[in-house]
A and B are shown apart, each in its own frame.
Chain A
Amino acid sequence: MNKPRQYDSPTLKRIAERIPKELSEQNDRRMGLAVKIAEALRSRGLTNQEFAFMMGKKPSEVTRWLSGTHNFTTETLWQMERVLRIQLLTSSPAEEHIEKEQQELKEFIANEVQKALTKFMSKKKLAV
């Protein structure tokens, strides 16, 4: 008993080496979006049919969106962002931007606490 034999061939090698970079990037983006939408539906407990209802579309259209082969229009992605409360477009408020703001806020609070502590300690010293 063992694992299946490993197989490769000149045919598979030839195709792997010739795939245009643009096609690969487009495919990657489409599939990535499809996975992100599917995960959002799953985490919200929505079926394809319920999502189709919320978007005002047919369930078959949602199936096509999730297949990773669909070229979305910006309008459709905006609508999905509104309905699912997720970020799909890079021009929407970016998660990194929110993270940066949070980091700046943390640093500001730490700085203020430090200043207050220093002030308190110096007053205490004067009192002594």
Chain B
Amino acid sequence: MKFELVELSRLSGRKATVYSIILNDDEQTLFDKFIEENDEQFPDEIDSIFDTIDKIAKKHGNSRQFFKENEGNLGDLVCALYDTPNSNLRLYCIRLGNALIILGSGGHKPKTIRALQENDKLKDTNYLLRKFSQVLHQKMIDGEIYWSNDMELNGNFIIDTDE
């Protein structure tokens, strides 16, 4: 499996840099796919999610309060963007400090389920981000990806795993 971390220039701002992931040799990021998979059924939620990320990055900051934490394994920083009370969509992401957010994918979360494991799409997208978090963590430990002085990431962003 191959991951490439890319910066979403349209969304990044002075408060936070926004990244997403390109899987294998896809042309689109996971976030693009999330939009396209859900836009027809939930256009208002897509607008709201997109605008919230935009406001986080450009105005209000990547504060912890905007994210539902502990959506992954212990300590892997996988979280979800808070959904509005009547919303049906869940977007998984990784929040790394105040300066960085990595958008993954997600899906429709029926109000009838409690655990994400009860829904295949949510489970697949969440576990994929857990996997990415694991390999990113290892790359940081190995010094292949590191923070720059301007609080952005530097390094080699094409990550091949054995799987």
Contact = CB atoms under 8 A, between A and B. Distances in A.
B55 A27 contact: yes
A16 B52 contact: no
Nearest to A39: B63
A23 interface: yes
Size bracket of the A interface:
20 to 34
Contact of A68 (B11, B66, B85): B66
Given A66-B65, A68-B60, A7 B20 contact: yes
Contact of A28 (B8, B28, B55, B85): B55
Interface residues of B, number: 46
A125 interface: no
Given A5-B6, A9-B29, A19-B51, 12 more contacts: A1-B155, A5-B7, A5-B157, A12-B8, A12-B11, A15-B35, A18-B47, A27-B48, A34-B60, A34-B65, A63-B65, A69-B83
Interface of A: 1-9, 11-13, 15-16, 18-20, 23-24, 27-28, 31-32, 34-35, 38, 63-64, 66-70
